[in-house]
Amino acid sequence: MARNRLIAALAPGTVLVEAAARSGARNTVTWANALGRVVMAVPGPVTSATSVTPHRLIREAEAVLVTTAADVLELLSPLGGRPAAPASERRATDELSTDELRVFEAVPGRGALPAGELALRAALTVPRCLAVLDLLAERGFLVQDEQGGWKLPPRAGQRAR
């Protein structure tokens, strides 16, 4: 019980994602409300036992319904303050063709792979994969290393390996 009180006291707000009818998370929410902290709850499936407490808290106005991180940030920002700008809904990869996306997703997050391995992973012929790799490189999605392997480009501020 002291642990739940400390958790509630140390944070400006508490987000309850899942909790059964009787849980330690419910105890933390009680303390957060008593301490005047913002209490938020994420709704879940009505058929789930772990959604009972979040739904009850929202229904009884003990918690504010939130569904995204932006909702949480808005509730925790100072009154009159501006919450962080929402991330763009669009990603750079949204413009890629099916083959381009298959090849891009076949490239590992770390390290490099040769075109033949990428063709296998993307289920494309080697000539088609090579054509797609060239297109992705032209658009800045991939780079080729000294050994001829394909990899993700280094991020800004990150040294190339």
What CATH number should be reported for the domain holding residue 113? 1.10.10.10
Span 91-115, pLDDT tens digits: 888 899 999 999 999 999 999 999 9
Tell me: do 97 and 68 sit in the same domain: no
- The listed range with the strongest mean pLDDT (19-28, 81-90, 115-124) is 115-124
The residues pairing with 113 across neighbouring beta strands, listed in sequence order, are 150
User: What domain range includes position 96?
Assistant: 92-151
In one letter, which amino acid is 160? Answer: A
Span 26-79, pLDDT tens digits: 889 989 999 999 999 999 898 888 888 999 999 999 999 999 888 888 888 876
Measured at the CA of 87, the angle between CA 86 and CA 93, to 5 degrees, comes to 160
Span 120-134, pLDDT tens digits: 999 999 999 999 999
87 inside domain: no
DSSP letter for 157, please. T
Tell me: do 33 and 65 sit in the same domain: yes
Q: Is residue 80 very low, low, confident or very high in pLDDT (cuts 50, 70, 90)?
A: low
From CA 130, how far away is CA 156, in angstroms rounded?
26
Tell me: do 48 and 9 sit in the same domain: yes
Number of domains in the chain: 2
Tell me: do 10 and 66 sit in the same domain: yes
CB atoms inside a 10 Å sphere around CB 63: 24
Among 76, 104, 123, residue at a domain's last position = 76
2 sits in which H/E element: helix 2-10
- In this prediction, residue 26 carries a pLDDT of 85
- In this prediction, residue 104 carries a pLDDT of 96
- In 11-161, alpha helices (H): 24-34, 52-59, 69-76, 98-106, 115-122, 126-138
Q: Is residue 156 very low, low, confident or very high in pLDDT (cuts 50, 70, 90)?
A: low
86 inside domain: no
Tell me: do 72 and 12 sit in the same domain: yes
Tokens matching residue 90: 């669009």
